[in-house]
Amino acid sequence: MTRPRHQTTDRVRNALIVLNRDLRDCRACHMAGLLDEVESVPIALDPEPDAAAPRILLVGQAPGLRATITDRPFAGAAGEKLRAWFEQGGIPRDDFWRAIHFAAVTRCYPGRLPGAKGDRVPSPREQALCRPWLDELFEIVRPRVVLLVGLLAIRTFLGPVKSLTAVVGTATDRDGVLYIPLPHPSGVSRWLNEPANVAAVAQAMRILKSETAKLD
Ligand code: SF4
């Protein structure tokens, strides 16, 4: 097992634990009539005891159904694919939970999209209600690298991006923070069936690897 070289400072760890405790109590979307009470269960992962300084932050769309059972994002097959990608990006599988801090545009499971295989995209109102949690997390973590997983996360930070194809394999530096767009690793994503798109993900991992080397 590879040990991270920088341990999370007590300041960051304690601030994250307090933030996560408050976040787990959030029922703002339920109070606004946007989620029912059962759905309104925020997923927040406290830092591992020997976590690396979490200067890499991953922002996804919203937790999936499995996360509501495991209380941990990316615990299933999609997470396994992400671990394989990130290994190419310089983050060993054993460090997956220690080297990255996980967040999302909204932190509660939004439910299925009626008549479709995927989950519902959280509404602009839900996104706005949840944004302060994300902003506070950024203030605590002060990430150097932000992995944007899926179009909602990408558009939240990079604006009206036309498609995954337009951005995966690129990186955007804003105020010293490097944003790396990625597709969602889910098996339902047909985008990943195209060899050119697989090559774009590999390029994104080369960028991540070069950044993780600088973080060491
Ligand atoms: S999605 Fe965000 S704002 Fe809405 S209830 Fe969950 S944690 Fe609160």
Q: Work out the average pLDDT over 174-183.
A: 96
The pLDDT-based confidence of 2 (bands split at 50, 70, 90) is very low
Atom of ligand 1 minimally distant from the CA of 41: 6
Q: Give residue 187's pLDDT.
A: 67
Any ligand 1 atom below 6 A from CB of 107: yes
User: Is 76:66 a contact under the CB 8 Å cutoff?
Assistant: yes
Assess whether pLDDT exceeds 90 at residue 189. no
Domains, the chain: 10-215 (3.40.470.10)
How high is the mean pLDDT of the chain?
A: 88
Distance CA 17, CA 22 (A): 9
Q: Does ligand 1 have an atom closer than 6 angstroms to the CB of 44? A: no
- Taking only the tens place, the pLDDT of each residue in 120-158 is 999 999 999 999 999 999 999 999 999 999 999 999 999
Sequence-ordered list of residues with C-beta below 8 angstroms from that of 71, at least 6 positions apart, any chain: 43, 45
Mutation probe of ligand 1 site: the residue of 21, 30, 43, 108 with most atoms within 8 A of C-beta: 108
Question: Residue length, the chain?
Answer: 216
Question: Phi and psi for 59 in degrees, rounded to 5?
Answer: -120, 115
pLDDT greater than 50 at residue 4? no
Contact 46, 17 (CB under 8 A): yes
Task: Give pLDDT tens digits for 21-66.
Answer: 999 999 999 999 998 877 777 888 888 776 666 689 999 999 988 8
Residue 40 Cβ contacting ligand 1 at under 6 Å: yes
Q: What is the DSSP letter of 6?
A: S
Q: Give the pLDDT confidence score for residue 46 in this predicted structure.
A: 83
CA of 183 to the centre of ligand 1 (A): 23
The answer to whether the CB of 29 is under 6 A from ligand 1 is yes
- Read off the DSSP letter of residue 173: E
